[in-house]
Amino acid sequence: IETNIRGTEVALAAAARYGKRILLTSTSEVYGKSSKVPFSEDDDTTYGPTTKQRWSYAISKAVDEFLLLAYCESHGLPGVIVRLFNTVGPRQVPHYGMVIPRFIQQALAGGPITVYGDGSQRRCFAHVADIVPALAQLIENDAAVGHVVNLGSQEEVSILELAERIVAKTNPSVPIRFVPYERAFPQGFEDMARRIPDLTKAQRLIAYQPQKSLDQIIEEILEMEQQDS
Ligand code: UDP
């Protein structure tokens, strides 16, 4: 909480002081447990109670967004907020969850692949090489100043299907193990069932169109893993 909020405050104050533009990378977590499909930037957010630590990330990133918008409003700071949805790519470390590098490393080690819950939860994964140029374009874009913009992909996949695709591309004899949520996470953890970005705003501002499909992403990560090992 302190890292998110204090760090952002320091960066915003410095940008305002030296007359610099700033781009805040926020997260799709900010939508909380809303079940709306797809998520649009102006949608309402829904969070769980403060006794569940899980929500502190979403809420502290939402505070960062409030801070940036307040700096735009009261200091004329040219700032843009981007909400990233499951960005992945070669050499991503499997810490803090990160399902694709985890599944790939598990598969290459002979398994098992750990699917949390029943694997029916769905996500959209975007390649970092589609996201980074979009960030560079958005920070330069005057029409994006003072705005929140979603970035990600709309190609949806269930986590079980993701595991099956990775098994098929690595070693079909690797087992998939279902791990109950209560064993994978602290008690009371709530996973998002679906998370799809509405990309209309990014398309309007920078003609954003992700190029890499999920299969291309998985194959590229696999190639890199094999080169590195
Ligand atoms: N997940 C899984 N097995 C793992 C790691 C993650 O089934 O070993 C699931 C996780 O519960 C979530 C999805 O994969 O539903 C994406 O997880 P990740 O941490 O990559 O991103 P999130 O969307 O949760 O921020």
pLDDT tens digit sequence for 31-85: 999 999 999 999 999 999 999 999 999 999 999 999 999 999 999 999 999 999 9
From CA 63, how far away is CA 178, in angstroms rounded?
A: 35
- Let me know how many helices (H) and strands (E) the chain has, helices first: 8, 9
Average pLDDT over the chain, rounded to whole? 96
User: How far does the centroid of ligand 1 lie from the alpha carbon of residue 222, in Å?
Assistant: 18
From CA 204, how far away is CA 189, in angstroms rounded?
A: 36
Instruction: Place 167 in a pLDDT band, splitting at 50, 70 and 90.
Output: very high
pLDDT at 206: 98
Residue nearest atom 5 in ligand 1 by C-alpha distance: 99
Instruction: Place 229 in a pLDDT band, splitting at 50, 70 and 90.
Output: confident
- 187 pLDDT more than 90: no
From CA 28, how far away is CA 150, in angstroms rounded?
A: 8
Of the candidate ranges 89-98, 100-109, 174-183, the one whose mean pLDDT is the lowest: 89-98
Instruction: Place 143 in a pLDDT band, splitting at 50, 70 and 90.
Output: very high
pLDDT at 186: 83
31 SS3 class: helix
63: enclosing H helix or E strand? helix 55-75
- 168 pLDDT more than 90: yes
Beta-carbon count within 10 A of 88 CB: 22
User: How far does the centroid of ligand 1 lie from the alpha carbon of residue 105, in Å?
Assistant: 14
Is pTM beyond 0.75? Reply is: yes
- 188 pLDDT more than 80: no
- 57 belongs to the catalytic site: yes
User: How far does the centroid of ligand 1 lie from the alpha carbon of residue 142, in Å?
Assistant: 35
From CA 54, how far away is CA 181, in angstroms rounded?
A: 14
- 96 pLDDT more than 90: no
Helix 99-108 × helix 214-228 angle, to 10°: 50
The reply to whether ligand 1 has any atom less than 6 angstroms from the CB of 158 is no
Cis peptide preceding 112, ω within 30 of 0 = yes
Instruction: Place 94 in a pLDDT band, splitting at 50, 70 and 90.
Output: confident
The reply to whether ligand 1 has any atom less than 6 angstroms from the CB of 47 is no
From CA 79, how far away is CA 36, in angstroms rounded?
A: 27
The reply to whether ligand 1 has any atom less than 6 angstroms from the CB of 92 is no
Beta-carbon count within 10 A of 197 CB: 25
Amino acid identity of 59? I
**For the residues 149-173, what does the mean pLDDT come to?**
97
Q: Report which ligand 1 atom has the smallest distance to the Cα of 102.
A: 8
pLDDT at 228: 85
User: How far does the centroid of ligand 1 lie from the alpha carbon of residue 206, in Å?
Assistant: 29
Q: For residues 70 and 58, is the Cβ–Cβ distance under 8 A?
A: no
Using alpha carbons, select from 55, 71, 56, 58 the residue that is nearest to residue 23: 71
